Amino acid sequence: MSTSKLRILVPVKRVIDFAIKPRINKTQTGVETKGVKFSINPFCDIALEESIRIREGNKDLVEKIHAVSIGPTKAQDVLRVALAKGADTSTLIDVGEEEVEPLSVAKLLQKVVEKENSNLIILGKQAIDDDSNQTGQMLAGLLNWPQATNASKVEIDGDNVTVTREVDGGSDTLRAKLPLVITTDLRLNDPRYASLPNVMKAKKKPLEKLSASDLGIEITKRLETLKVEEPPVRQAGVKVESVDELISKLKDLKAI
């Protein structure tokens, strides 16, 4: 059986930290980003962890793990974290404060795949800021590669990759040959923390900076956000002492 060395690409998005409760901005066009903590998107962290575990499982199998982020200059921070955890090299595609829709992200990633000669792409199944769940699928379409989404287990044997996917009420097991796009689900693994010595060492690892035009891609917008709203505030409930009291309250409210 032929065995390709893996050149893994891990796209990592900088998003508002998952533990923070987002607040809507005054103009109701999005969430407030000033003074808010940003981190690596949790599903991207899982994708990175999986690529590191693939290498730990078989050192000779992985030639390179390359992390890429599309975002503001500050997105360097998530790349440094990725480098500290185990990525070898990285690229920042600096788009300033511009929001980039999944199709443009996928087009930029396609260029990075060509540049890095990647043969396995592991992405998050979704970014927790826009919840699009589109980028991996669009990238697989642009590359005309097979895709296995929502992975909860990944096994590699030569050029064959077996992916178990979480589906309603059970699991779905797929096999595909490289090159392949995989998107990660929550239960795939528990990402590690970066150790302080590795954070220091990561400062010396390569971080290439490019613009979208360096890659020949024009970022276009196809969607317009009309309004972002908080969910309606729920009315406080009342406690009742007995079933009779419950029934009488429901009758008062004309609910029964």
Taking CB under 6 A as the binding criterion, the range among 27-35, 128-136, 168-176, 238-246 that sits at the site for ligand AMP is: 128-136
In DSSP notation, 198-243 reads: HHHHHTTS-EEEE-TGGGT-------------PPPPPPP----SSH
How far apart, in whole angstroms, are the C-alpha atoms of residue 7 and residue 180?
Answer: 11
105 belongs to the binding site for ligand AMP (CB under 6 A): yes
Tokens of 111: 């260029």
The answer to the question of residue 150 lying near ligand AMP (CB under 6 A) is no
Residue 183 to residues 24, 95, 148, 153, 156, Cα–Cα distance (Å) = 29, 24, 7, 11, 15
Choice from 79, 100, 140, 219 touching ligand AMP (CB under 6 A): 100
Q: Which is nearer to ligand AMP, 84 or 140 (CB)?
A: 140
Among 12, 148, 180, 182, binds ligand AMP (CB under 6 A): 12
Q: Which is nearer to ligand AMP, 41 or 164 (CB)?
A: 41
What number of H helices and E strands is found in the chain?
Answer: 6, 11
Q: What are the φ and ψ backbone dihedral angles of 34, each rounded to 5 degrees? A: -70, 130
Which residues 63-92 are close enough to bind ligand AMP by CB under 6 A?
A: 69-71
Q: Which is nearer to ligand AMP, 3 or 205 (CB)?
A: 205
Q: Write out the DSSP string of 21-59.
A: ---B-TTSSSB--TT--EEE-HHHHHHHHHHHHHHHH-T
**By rule CB under 6 A, what count of residues binds ligand AMP?**
23
Q: Is 191 in the site for ligand AMP (CB under 6 A)?
A: no
Q: Among 6, 40, 41, 148, indicate the residue that binds ligand AMP (CB under 6 A).
A: 41
Site membership for ligand AMP, residue 8 (CB under 6 A):
no
Amino acid letter at 7? R
Rule CB under 6 A: say whether 126 interacts with ligand AMP. yes
- Residue 13 binding ligand AMP, by CB under 6 A: yes
CA distances from 102 to 105, 108, 210 (A): 5, 10, 18
Q: What angle do CA 92, 38, 201 make, to 5 degrees?
A: 55
Which of 86, 102, 179, 191 is the binder for ligand AMP (CB under 6 A)? 102
Q: Where does this chain bind ligand AMP (CB under 6 A)?
A: 11-13, 41, 43-44, 47, 69-71, 100, 102, 105, 123-124, 126-127, 130, 132-136
